[in-house]
C-alpha cells in the first residue's frame, strides 16, 4: 500500500515510512492512495470475533508488506493486552436507540490509547529491525500526551517529548504525563494554548536540519497509523448492532478531527454508516465551517472539555483533500490561506463535506445538563467530552437508526466537571489510585521554537 501527501509534493511512501515520518515533508498529511474495501460478507464475518481479530482483518490491507501476518498479529495482541475490559470497546445502551461506545478502558483512560498503544508496538518492532533511534515529539491538549508517554515509556530506541499548554490540562492528565520516572520521558509545560504547542511541533518538523539531526518522529493524530487504529471500533460497534444488514449512525466529540475521520474511512471501506456527526464544544470552528463554508480560527475559549479546545483542526486537511477530489495543489493553497487568517471552502467541496458529515455544537451549560441528565436517567457518568457528543447525538438522531456516541474519556479523568454536574466524584481505577501522591517532573518552557529545539538537542545528546 502506498501513501500520498494531502499537498501532493512529498515522496510517496510505504506504510512503515509514512508512520515513522508523521508529517509529510511538504507540510501535508499522509493518506493511503486508495481505500481498501470490506465486502458485506467480510463485515458480517466480524460478528463474534475478538477485538484483536477484527483489528487484524480491518487493518491488514493498509499495512502492505511492512510486517508479516504473524508479526502484525503479535503487535495487536500486545497493544490491547493492557486494557481493563475484555471487550476493549464495549457498547452501553442509554435508551431504545442511543448507545455509548466506551473507549476509555485503556491505560490512560481515553480513546487515544487505542491508537497510541498500537503505535508504540509498531514503532518498537520497526526500530528493533532497523536499529534506529528516534525522538518522538508531540503536542497535546491533554490525552494524547499521557497516552504517548504510556506507550513509549522505557523503550530503548525512543525519547518522547510532549508539549502541553501549561495550566490548561486537568490534574489527572498532567500527572499522567509528569509522574512516569523513566529517563526517556520528557513532559514540557509550554506557556500558551494547545494550538501554540501544535504549531511549534509543526515548526520542528518543517526545520529539516533539526528534524534529521535528532531523528524526529511524530505520533500526533496526524500520524496515519493512529487514524487507522481508530477505524476498527467503528466496525466492531456497528457489527454488534446489526451491520452490515442495518445501517447505524455515529456522533463523535471532535477536536483535531482524527477520530471522526477514522469513521469516514470506515464508511469508505464499506461499513454502512448512515450519519457521521461532528460534535464540538463552544470552540465550534468545525461546525461553522460545515454550516457556512468559512474556516477562520477566532481564538480558543477554554471549556470543561479541554481536549476539544482546538481551532486549528489538523486532520480536517484530510477531509478537505477528499472533498477537493484529491487535489493536493488546492489543499496546499487553502493551507497557505489558513496561515494568513482563514479560507473559504468551494461550493463543490462544501457539498462533498456535507454529504459526509453532519455537525452540532454543545455549549458549557448544556454539557453540564447532559452529564446530570444521563446520570439521572441511566446511572451512567459521562466525561464532559462524551457529554458534548451525547447532547448533539440526542438532537440529531433519527428514529429507526441506532445512534452510537463515542465516549472518549473516563469520567474520573475530569472529576471536577463531573462532580459539579452530579455531586458524584468518580474514583480512579484501583491501579492508578496513588496518582495524586506520585512525584512530578515538569520542565516549563517558553512558546519559542528555537528554545525548544535547543532543549531537545541537549536532552538527546545531539
Ligand atoms: C482527543 C480527544 C477528543 C478529540 O478527538 P480528535 O480525534 O482530536 O477529534 C475528544 N475527547 C477526548 C477525551 C480526547 O482526548
- Cell matching residue 23: 508529517
What is the maximum alpha-carbon separation in the chain?
A: 60
333-347: average pLDDT:
97
Q: How far is the CA of 307 from the centre of ligand 1 (A)?
A: 6
**Rounded Cα–Cα distance for residues 65 and 43 (Å):** 23
102 Cβ below 6 A of ligand 1: no
Per the CB < 8 A criterion, the answer to whether 46 and 54 are in contact is: yes
- Cell matching residue 117: 498503544
Report the pLDDT value the prediction gives residue 331, as an integer from 0 to 100.
98
409 Cβ below 6 A of ligand 1: yes
pLDDT digits (tens, 9 = 90+) for 265-310: 999 999 999 999 999 999 999 999 999 999 999 888 999 999 898 8
28 Cβ below 6 A of ligand 1: no
Q: How far is the CA of 217 from the centre of ligand 1 (A)?
A: 21
312 Cβ below 6 A of ligand 1: no
Tell me how crowded residue 431 is: count the other CB atoms within 10 A of its CB.
10
110 Cβ below 6 A of ligand 1: yes
Which residue of 104, 108, 111 sits with most ligand 1 atoms within 8 Å of its CB, as the best mutation to test the pocket?
111
- Which candidate, 358, 381, 434, 423, places its Cα nearest to that of 172? 434
pLDDT digits (tens, 9 = 90+) for 149-164: 999 998 889 999 999 9
258 Cβ below 6 A of ligand 1: yes
374-380: average pLDDT:
98
254 Cβ below 6 A of ligand 1: yes
**Rounded Cα–Cα distance for residues 222 and 19 (Å):** 10
314 Cβ below 6 A of ligand 1: no
Which residue of 223, 276, 407, 408 sits with most ligand 1 atoms within 8 Å of its CB, as the best mutation to test the pocket?
408
Q: How far is the CA of 261 from the centre of ligand 1 (A)?
A: 12
Domain 91-105+225-422 has CATH 3.40.50.1100: yes
pLDDT digits (tens, 9 = 90+) for 412-422: 999 999 999 99
73-78: average pLDDT:
98
- Domain residue limits, the chain: 91-105+225-422
**Rounded Cα–Cα distance for residues 189 and 157 (Å):** 24
Q: How far is the CA of 266 from the centre of ligand 1 (A)?
A: 18
Give me the active site residues, please: 112
Go through the chain and tell me how many residues it has: 462
Residue tagged 463531573 (cell numbers): 418
Per the CB < 8 A criterion, the answer to whether 406 and 92 are in contact is: no
Beta strands in 215-333 (DSSP E): 216-218, 248-253, 273-280, 294-295
- Which candidate, 31, 100, 449, 446, places its Cα nearest to that of 262? 31
Q: How far is the CA of 249 from the centre of ligand 1 (A)?
A: 18
pLDDT digits (tens, 9 = 90+) for 393-442: 999 999 999 999 999 999 999 999 999 999 999 999 999 999 999 999 99
**Mean per-residue pLDDT over the chain, rounded:** 96
459 Cβ neighbours under 8 A, 6+ residues apart = 159, 161, 186
Report the pLDDT value the prediction gives residue 312, as an integer from 0 to 100.
87
Ligand 1, atom 15, residue with closest C-alpha: 143
Query: Of the ranges 73-82, 195-204, 449-458, which one carries the lowest mean pLDDT score?
Result: 195-204
Report the pLDDT value the prediction gives residue 449, as an integer from 0 to 100.
97
Per the CB < 8 A criterion, the answer to whether 372 and 422 are in contact is: yes
**Rounded Cα–Cα distance for residues 444 and 187 (Å):** 9
- CB-based burial of residue 380 (10 Å sphere; 0-12 exposed, 13-18 middle, 19+ buried)? middle
Question: What number does the ligand 1 atom closest to the CA of 257 have?
Answer: 9
- Cell matching residue 229: 487504529
**Rounded percentage of the chain residues whose pLDDT exceeds 90:** 91
259 Cβ below 6 A of ligand 1: yes
**Rounded Cα–Cα distance for residues 279 and 205 (Å):** 30
Per the CB < 8 A criterion, the answer to whether 94 and 390 are in contact is: yes
33-54: average pLDDT:
98
Ligand 1, atom 14, residue with closest C-alpha: 307
Report the pLDDT value the prediction gives residue 295, as an integer from 0 to 100.
97
- Cell matching residue 82: 493492557
Q: How far is the CA of 275 from the centre of ligand 1 (A)?
A: 19
Q: How far is the CA of 367 from the centre of ligand 1 (A)?
A: 15
Amino acid at each position: 500500500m502506498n501513501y500520498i501527501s494531502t499537498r501532493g509534493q512529498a515522496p510517496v511512501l510505504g506504510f512503515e515510512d509514512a508512520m515513522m515520518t508523521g508529517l509529510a515533508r511538504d507540510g501535508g498529511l499522509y493518506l493511503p492512495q486508495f481505500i481498501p474495501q470490506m465486502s458485506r460478507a467480510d463485515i458480517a464475518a466480524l460478528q463474534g470475533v475478538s477485538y484483536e481479530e477484527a483489528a487484524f482483518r480491518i487493518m491488514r490491507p493498509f499495512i502492505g508488506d511492512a510486517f508479516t501476518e504473524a508479526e502484525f498479529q503479535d503487535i495487536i495482541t500486545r497493544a490491547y493486552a493492557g486494557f481493563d475490559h475484555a471487550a476493549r470497546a464495549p457498547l452501553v445502551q442509554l435508551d431504545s436507540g442511543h448507545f455509548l461506545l466506551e473507549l476509555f478502558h485503556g491505560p490512560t483512560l481515553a480513546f487515544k490509547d487505542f491508537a497510541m498503544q498500537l503505535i508504540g508496538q509498531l514503532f518498537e518492532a520497526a526500530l528493533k529491525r532497523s536499529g534506529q533511534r528516534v525522538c518522538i515529539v508531540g503536542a497535546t491538549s491533554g490525552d494524547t500526551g499521557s497516552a504517548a508517554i504510556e506507550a513509549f515509556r522505557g523503550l530503548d530506541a525512543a525519547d518522547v517529548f510532549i508539549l502541553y499548554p501549561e495550566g490548561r490540562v486537568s490534574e489527572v492528565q498532567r500527572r499522567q504525563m509528569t509522574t512516569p520516572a523513566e529517563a526517556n520521558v520528557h513532559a514540557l509545560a509550554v506557556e500558551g494554548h494547545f494550538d501554540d504547542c501544535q504549531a511549534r511541533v509543526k515548526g520542528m518538523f518543517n526545520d529539516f536540519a533539526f528534524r534529521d539531526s535528532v531523528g524526529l518522529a511524530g505520533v500526533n493524530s496526524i500520524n496515519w497509523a493512529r487514524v487507522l487504529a481508530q477505524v476498527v471500533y467503528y466496525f466492531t460497534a456497528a457489527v454488534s448492532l446489526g451491520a452490515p444488514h442495518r445501517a447505524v449512525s455515529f456522533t463523535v466529540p471532535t477536536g483535531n478531527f482524527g477520530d471522526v475521520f477514522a469513521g469516514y474511512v470506515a464508511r469508505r471501506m464499506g461499513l454502512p454508516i448512515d450519519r457521521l456527526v461532528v460534535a464540538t464544544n463552544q470552540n465550534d470552528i468545525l461546525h461553522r465551517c460545515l454550516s457556512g463554508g468559512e474556516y477562520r480560527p477566532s481564538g480558543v475559549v477554554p471549556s470543561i472539555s479541554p481536549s476539544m479546545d482546538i481551532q486549528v483542526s489538523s486532520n480536517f486537511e484530510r477531509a478537505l483533500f477528499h472533498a477537493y477530489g484529491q487535489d493536493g495543489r488546492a489543499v496546499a493553497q487553502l493551507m497557505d490561506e489558513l496561515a494568513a487568517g482563514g479560507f473559504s471552502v468551494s461550493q463543490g467541496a462544501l457539498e462533498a463535506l456535507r454529504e459526509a458529515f453532519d455537525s452540532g455544537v454543545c455549549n458549557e451549560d448544556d454539557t453540564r445538563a447532559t452529564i446530570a441528565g444521563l446520570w439521572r436517567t441511566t446511572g451512567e457518568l459521562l466525561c464532559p467530552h462524551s457529554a458534548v457528543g451525547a447532547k448533539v447525538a440526542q438532537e440529531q438522531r433519527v428514529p429507526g437508526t441506532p445512534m452510537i456516541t463515542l465516549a472518549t474519556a473516563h469520567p474520573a479523568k475530569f472529576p471536577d466537571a463531573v462532580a459539579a454536574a452530579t455531586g458524584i466524584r468518580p474514583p480512579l481505577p484501583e491501579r492508578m489510585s496513588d496518582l495524586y501522591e506520585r512525584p512530578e517532573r515538569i520542565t516549563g518552557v517558553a512558546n519559542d521554537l528555537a528554545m525548544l529545539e535547543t532543549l531537545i538537542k541537549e536532552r538527546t545528546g545531539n
